[in-house]
């Protein structure tokens, strides 16, 4: 979980600072010239930081403990009522699974590109913010090219295997509702009710 949170620390800090200094309603804690920190700003900043951390940690736990195939089947099963209004549920679930599977591939590709650029003498750690942003261009362009190449190879492989969507497809592994699923559902409902209650009370 620490590894998953480390890359988004700058985003968390940026979000907290924005909410801290740009929300001016409420009782002021500190005021100097154009800088004003209020209780509403502090509360919102803390709330947004906790929300982002919980989102990332929850996503990491879900992807680390559940296989992509199980996630695809669960998403498709959950969204199956939308088939009645002609929503392509199977295709949506497949897109989500492919996106999840591509994340480690893109991370590995980024590491390779960064190592190659550093071996050529690229400096990505020193300099101003604009210089660091310019140093990312030699990384982003090959990464986009590699992403499109992987997508084309995947599409070609799916076509060679005669994939044509979810119409008429069957599953080797059928999902069944068990005792653990019921306990998990009850826990999620109680947790959601608690979050709604806390938001209304606070």
Average pLDDT over residues 127-132: 72
Q: What pLDDT is attached to residue 58? A: 85
CA dihedral over 73, 78, 81, 82, signed as positive or negative: negative
How far apart are alpha carbons 107 and 139 in whole angstroms?
12
Q: What pLDDT is attached to residue 154? A: 86
Which range, of 10-24, 45-59, 99-113, 161-175, averages the lowest pLDDT? 161-175
Which range, of 4-13, 77-86, 153-162, 165-174, averages the lowest pLDDT? 165-174
Give pLDDT tens digits for 4-54. 788 788 888 888 888 888 877 777 777 777 777 788 888 888 888 888 888
| Domain boundaries along the sequence of the chain | 1-65
Q: Decide if pLDDT at 129 tops 80.
A: no
How far apart are alpha carbons 147 and 199 in whole angstroms?
41
Structure tokens at 14: 């940026």
If DSSP codes are grouped into helix, strand and coil, which group holds residue 30?
strand
How far apart are alpha carbons 160 and 154 in whole angstroms?
10
Q: What is the 3-state secondary structure (H, E, C) of 151-175?
A: HHHHHHHHHHCCCCCCCCCCCCCCC
């Amino acid at each position: 979980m620490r590894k998953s949170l480390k890359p988004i620390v700058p985003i968390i800090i940026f979000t907290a600072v924005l909410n801290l200094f740009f929300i001016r309603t409420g009782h002021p804690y500190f005021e100097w010239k154009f800088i004003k920190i209020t209780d509403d700003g502090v509360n919102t900043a803390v709330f947004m930081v906790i929300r982002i951390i919980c989102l990332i940690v929850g996503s990491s736990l879900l992807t680390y403990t559940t296989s992509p195939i199980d996630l695809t089947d669960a998403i498709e099963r959950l969204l199956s009522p939308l088939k009645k209004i002609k929503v392509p549920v199977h295709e949506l679930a497949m897109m989500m699974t492919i996106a999840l599977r591509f994340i480690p591939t893109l991370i590995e590709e980024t590491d390779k590109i960064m190592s190659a650029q550093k071996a050529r003498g690229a400096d990505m750690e020193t300099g101003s913010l604009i210089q660091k942003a310019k140093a990312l261009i030699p990384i982003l362009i090959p990464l986009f090219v590699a992403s499109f190449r992987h997508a084309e190879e995947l599409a070609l492989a799916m076509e060679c295997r005669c994939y044509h969507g979810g119409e008429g497809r069957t599953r080797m592994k059928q999902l069944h509702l068990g005792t653990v699923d019921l306990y998990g559902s009850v826990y999620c409902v109680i947790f959601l009710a608690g979050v709604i209650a806390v938001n209304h009370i606070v």
